[in-house]
Chains A and B, each alone.
Chain A
Amino acid sequence: MVELLAQTGLNAVYAASYISLVAVGLVLIFGVMGVVNFAHGELFMAGAYAVVALYADMHVPFFVAVAIGMAFVGLLGLLMEWALFRPLKDNPLGGLVASIGFLMILQSLAVMGFGVRMEHIPPVTQEVVRFTEKVGLPVARLYVIVAAVVFLSALWYFLKRTRFGWALRASAQDPEAAALQGISITQTARIAMFIGAALAGVAGALTAPLVSVNPHMGHSVIVTAFIVIIVGGVGSLEGAILASIAYAFVHTFVTTFWDGVLADIVGLSLMLIVLIVKPTGLFGSADRA
């Protein structure tokens, strides 16, 4: 039983890692721009396909492929900000609707470029860190955990310790006051979109060899991310991280000890309870960010 608990705990840590990368990016975009980016799951998918194209098809080294994929998806985020969200910034629903349209475009491009079937990605490594005979952590999963710790720590440092980070937080708290202080709202929106998209991209790129990469893989990711940011508090980065960890542990343990379908029900119930008891989420406030 101890080994089962330990293995389940390791599975949960991995799940929390990639969920938090996606959810934090989504929260950052919403916090700064006030846009619910429905295409965020497809940015995750785009990161995975970058690895398919570069690593699986063109035999570029895996971590180079991941880095290029992360940058590519970040640039996709800039494109979305320039082409969709900036022109529609005065339309409360415009960004949301435009992101749904962009979602469909990305899915269609994936189908046109790669086909409808799941893509095969050769394993990056088959090494497993063994703690006991029955408890182990595949190194490919360890990469995702390390990446989540590194990138989220870097983001925390950026937001708390740099002038750009302060500008970002100021824009999120009160865009008009920030603008009066000389902060470029457009510039902060660009930075937020690039970082948010790049985080989704790196999550997709790193997990690509571990999941079935297909044009519709973003769907389940975005559903999970929405549950997480609602539980954590819309606009709260700390809330998104803690809710990712809580959700991943609850979902993983319920799946392992009861049932995978029940785990989904429990996850959704968790969200409903939080919405009823604290509608702003565990770490959210009435104002966004």
Chain B
Amino acid sequence: MIPKFLTSGPSRRTFLKTAGAAAASLGFPRMTLAAGEPIKIGFLAPLTGAVAAWGKPGLDGCAIWAERVNAAGGIQLADGAHPIEFVSYDNEYDPAKARTGATKLIREDGVKFIMMLGGDTWPGVQPVAERTGMLFSTLLPSDLSPETTTLVAPAEVHPIYNVTGVEWLAQNKPDLKTAVMCAQDDALGLPSVATYLAAFEAAGIEMLEEPLLFDPATTDFAPVVTRLMAKNPEIICLDTCYSDYVHPICEQLFQQGFSGQIISCTADFYDQMIEKTSQEFMEGFIFQFPDFDDPALNSDAINFQDPNGFYAEYNARHPGQWGAVSWEYASIMDMWKAAAEKAGSAEPDAVMTAMKDGRGGHAFGEADWWGKDLFGIDNALVGDWPVVAIENGKAVIKEFRSIPDWYNRHGDLLVKHMEAYGQMWNQRG
């Protein structure tokens, strides 16, 4: 006779998870910290390879963050003050290497928290997270799912914040009524395509044709741009293209004579784009990532510590290297530090509990834990996000707009397009 608990009790998945967690607790013993001993934080992101631009600048930003925090006495826990030490592992944006890195950081380095870029590397790490209960963060909330309760997306809700740029554009340049879009066919590009489609539909802007997807290995963008311009759109949307694509696409748009509006998620190293095109061509380019010397970031509502000073220090150490992720991992560390000090402990479960107790202090203001509709779990921190435009050759924050407000009005459109592109949490493989 089969024991009843095997037929009607815990499911096989629950049983395996419980057994795994038990095994993990034996295999990954908790390390207690002596007073003054450094707390190690894992940085598991691409530091080399094609996606390194969204990893390495973040590590550089974290180094500045750690120096500042340690110079101010470190992190104050129940057992005293501790300095912070980052331990990095280059996952080369490869899921298998990410998994090896996560295991190494937990088992050998004894880190208390691991920050990731996420995306294609998250599926490699997910089993490690589930097995160990380690607290992870991702820059890409599309990694979130109810399967992993210890993964949070506290810095950005990519790609949902892109709706703010489109909404601002529709309100400030109402004459622009038609658009086309291109994107690389990958885990970053597709959810962003769905988001922009929802934003354009909500704004009453007509898509002249289906988004043009290209292979991430593409190097010659002339055919892509010729196609984009074929229907004389008023707006060309570059989705969440990597800077390796945004630059040659913009150069081609310039050379093929486009004179309309460009909107993009990022515009890293826009000064180089201006040099390759012209200041007039780039004027009014809309994107979502400000320079941190922007006076608008000195508002009391901003939670990022000394953004102007951080920007100056970053540029002094890494001239011309400031990009979208330079500040994001550091902003996650601000949140983690606040939560750890609130909990009086750096242990992942204690920090997680403290972090999700009430509203969160997002870089751009107070924000709510959100995401059940799209990600199946409320582990994304969402609030206001800046809309940035290039004016006279410089990025300028035009406005902070509320993502939750947009979602409350148009969430059904976002869900519709996410489903169409197979990007809902329960559709992802």
Contact = CB atoms under 8 A, between A and B. Distances in A.
Nearest to B276: A123
Contact of B226 (A8, A133, A138): A8
Contacts of B272: 120
Given A122-B275, A259-B212, A261-B215, A116 B223 contact: no
A253 B226 CA distance: 10
Contact of A261 (B185, B278, B321): B185
Interface in A242-269: 251-253, 255-257, 259-261, 263-264
A211 B275 contact: no
Contacts of B185: 260-261
Contact of B48 (A7, A116, A253, A264): A116
B214 A126 contact: no
Contacts of B223: 8, 11-12, 15, 251-253, 255-256, 260, 263
Given A212-B244, A255-B227, A260-B213, A7 B256 contact: yes
Contacts of A256: 223, 226-227, 230
Interface stretch (A216-224, A233-241, A277-285): A216-224
A7 B226 contact: yes
Contacts of B219: 211-212, 217, 220-221
B220 A15 contact: yes
B82 interface: no
Contacts of A118: 53, 243-244, 247
Contact of B257 (A123, A134, A264): A134
A116 B56 contact: yes
Nearest to B228: A256
Given A11-B226, A257-B227, A260-B218, A128 B50 contact: no
Contacts of B335: none
A134 B275 CA distance: 23
B421 interface: no
Main secondary structure of the interface of A (DSSP, over half): helix
Contacts of B269: 120
Contacts of A210: 220, 248, 251
A136 interface: yes
A111 interface: yes
A116 B49 contact: yes
Contact of A111 (B48, B50, B254): B48
Interface in A121-144: 122-123, 126, 128, 133-134, 136, 138, 141
Given A128-B255, A210-B248, A212-B219, A255 B224 contact: yes
Contacts, number: 109
Given A136-B256, A260-B214, A211 B220 contact: yes
Contacts of B247: 118, 212
A9 B282 CA distance: 28
Interface string B278-319: 100000000000000000000000000000000000000000
A14 interface: yes
Interface in A18-39: none
Contact of A14 (B47, B215, B220, B229): B220
B53 A4 contact: no
A264 to B, nearest CB: 5
Question: Which size bracket describes the interface of A in this complex?
Answer: 35 or more
Contacts of B87: none
B52 interface: yes
A8, A118, A223 — most chain B CB neighbours (10 Å): A118
A117 interface: yes
B222 A14 contact: yes
A117 B220 contact: no
A128, A211, A217 — most chain B CB neighbours (10 Å): A211
Nearest to A253: B223
Interface string B194-227: 0000000000000000001111011110111011
Interface in B89-105: none
Given A126-B255, A261-B185, A11 B321 contact: no
A114 to B, nearest CB: 12
A211 B222 CA distance: 11
Contact of B222 (A11, A123, A126, A221): A11
Contacts of B224: 255, 260
Nearest to A248: B220
A276 to B, nearest CB: 24
Contacts of A171: none
A99 interface: no
Contacts of B227: 255-257
Contacts of A116: 47-49, 52-53, 56
Contacts of B229: 134
Interface in B181-201: 185
B61 to A, nearest CB: 15
A12 B223 CA distance: 8
B213 A259 contact: yes
B256 A255 contact: no
Contacts of A188: none
B11 to A, nearest CB: 38
Contact of B52 (A12, A117, A261): A117
A244 to B, nearest CB: 13
A259 B218 CA distance: 12
A118 B244 CA distance: 7
B94 to A, nearest CB: 13
A117 B248 contact: no
A210 B222 CA distance: 10
Nearest to B53: A117
Interface of B: 47-50, 52-53, 56, 185, 212-215, 217-220, 222-224, 226-227, 229-230, 243-245, 247-248, 251, 254-257, 269, 272, 275-276, 278, 321
9 contacts: A116-B56, A117-B53, A136-B256, A141-B222, A210-B248, A210-B251, A215-B48, A259-B213, A263-B215
Which are the 3 A-B pairs with shortest beta-carbon distances? A260-B214, A116-B52, A212-B244
